[in-house]
A and B are shown apart, each in its own frame.
Chain A
């Protein structure tokens, strides 16, 4: 009998990116996110640094699907959202367990705009924070709240963390 771990099964009938709303509980070993790397190569140094880490991210998050768009596909996509031009490389995370809801403000996922970083080291620090967040909060039922609390440093804990971080070099100037 083999000691190999059983293969991770991905649902064949995947929930829509638009609506999310997978019905079972997010506290599963299965997939929760579809992760897309959008990168036109605009910010060459950061782009190269991020692309080198894709395999690492995939290893850390084997349950999730990661899609890496080509430069051309990324450029075509940004035509649909011109306000995001210059923010890439962007990691777009669709939460397949986002609570169903209509209209503006109905959370569907979150994104990490690494192109706003000047230095590859800054981008990698944020990428690490992102990887940690996805790994530790993937079971959360209200991920939008976690994004605000954890990543935006809201609330008193966030304030303390913000003040403790000697992160002027991590935050873009």
Chain B
């Protein structure tokens, strides 16, 4: 009975730690999905944007 009493807080502590780790990881993954960096693989889109700018179809936003 005495052993059970000692194990219970440790088990609860471990569960809390596991949950916190899971939750932090989940939130960071969401942030990575919302804000992400890109590299040269994005070059197709960069080419298309450059083409739009050079052809005059896309112009910088001007404040009214």
Contact = CB atoms under 8 A, between A and B. Distances in A.
Interface of A: 16-18, 34, 36, 54-55, 58-59, 65-69, 73, 76-77, 80-81, 92, 94, 101-114, 116-117, 126, 130, 144, 147-148, 151-154, 159, 162-163, 167, 171-172
Interface string B11-35: 0000000000000100110111111
Contact of A153 (B27, B41, B45, B58): B27
B42 interface: yes
Majority-rule SS of B interface residues = helix
Interface of B: 24, 27-28, 30-50, 52-53, 57-61, 63-64
B41 A104 contact: yes
B39 A108 contact: yes
Given A80-B45, A81-B45, A112-B35, A18 B40 contact: yes
A119 to B, nearest CB: 14
Q: Which 6 interchain pairs have the tightest Cβ spacing?
A: A17-B46, A151-B35, A66-B61, A65-B60, A18-B46, A110-B37
A103 to B, nearest CB: 7
Given A66-B61, A163-B24, A171-B30, A108 B35 contact: no
Contacts of B59: 67
A66 to B, nearest CB: 4
Contacts of B34: 112-114, 116-117, 126, 172
Contacts of A59: 63
Given A58-B61, A153-B28, A81 B44 contact: yes
